[in-house]
Amino acid sequence: MNDKQEYTGLNKILKSQFVQTILDKIDDGTFSTFIEDWQWIFTFSRKYRRTILFYLILGLFSSTLGTISSVVSKYLIDIIVNRDTGSLGILIVAMIGSTVFSLTFSSVVSRLSTKISIYVNNDIQASIFDKIIDAEWLDINKYQYGDLLNRFNSDVSTIASNAVSWIPTVIIDIYSLITSFVVILYYDVTMAFIAFLSAPFLLLMSRYVMRRMSEYRKKVMEMNSKMMSFEIETFYNFDSIKSFGITSHYSKELRKWQEKYKKYNLDYNMFSIKTNILTSIISTGVGLVAFGYCLFRLWTGSITYGTMTLFLNQRSTLSSNFNSLVSVIPGMLNSSVSAHRIKELVDLPKEVHDPESLKEIMKEAYDGITVELKDVNFAYDGTNKVIEESNFIAKPNEIVAVVGPSGEGKTTMLRIMLGLVHPQEGKTVLYNKDGKPFDMNADLRQLFSYVPQGNTIIAGSVADNLRMVKEDATDEEIIEALKIACAWPFVEKLENGIDEKIGEKGKGFSEGQAQRIAIARAVLRDAPVLLLDEATSALDTDLEKEVLHNIIKQRPNKTCIVSTHRPSVLSMCQRIYRVKEGHITELQRNEINNLVEDLKDE
Q: How far apart, in whole angstroms, are the C-alpha atoms of residue 296 and residue 584? A: 96
pLDDT above 60: residue 29: no
**Residue 528 confidence (pLDDT):** 92
More confident residue, 88 or 257: 257
Q: How far apart, in whole angstroms, are the C-alpha atoms of residue 301 and residue 295? A: 10
Split at pLDDT 50, 70, 90, the class of 529 is very high
pLDDT above 80: residue 439: yes
Instruction: Please name the amino acid found at residue 251.
Output: S
Q: How far apart, in whole angstroms, are the C-alpha atoms of residue 370 and residue 467? A: 27
- pLDDT, mean over the chain: 79
pLDDT digits (tens, 9 = 90+) for 184-229: 888 888 887 877 776 666 656 655 665 566 566 667 767 777 777 7
More confident residue, 209 or 46: 46
**Residue 264 confidence (pLDDT):** 76
Split at pLDDT 50, 70, 90, the class of 10 is very low
pLDDT above 60: residue 17: no
Whether 332 contacts 210, CB under 8 Å: no
pLDDT digits (tens, 9 = 90+) for 319-372: 777 777 766 766 777 787 788 888 888 888 898 999 999 999 988 888 889 999
The number of residues in the chain equals: 602
DSSP 302: S
The neighbour count for residue 49, using CB atoms within 10 Å, is 11
Cα distances (angstroms) measured from residue 548 to each of 399, 400, 417, 561, 589: 9, 11, 20, 11, 21
Q: Is 375 left (phi over 0), alpha (psi -120 to 50) or beta?
A: left
**Residue 596 confidence (pLDDT):** 61
Whether 289 contacts 197, CB under 8 Å: yes
Task: Write out the DSSP string of 454-486.
Answer: S----SEEHHHHHHTS-TT--HHHHHHHHHHTT
DSSP 509: S
pTM of the model: 0.70
pLDDT above 60: residue 155: yes
Sequence-distant contacts of 14-17: CB under 8 A, at least 24 apart:
15/204, 15/207, 16/203, 16/206, 16/207, 17/206, 17/207, 17/208, 17/210, 17/211
pLDDT digits (tens, 9 = 90+) for 380-415: 877 778 899 899 999 998 889 898 777 788 889 999
**Residue 22 confidence (pLDDT):** 53
DSSP 447: G
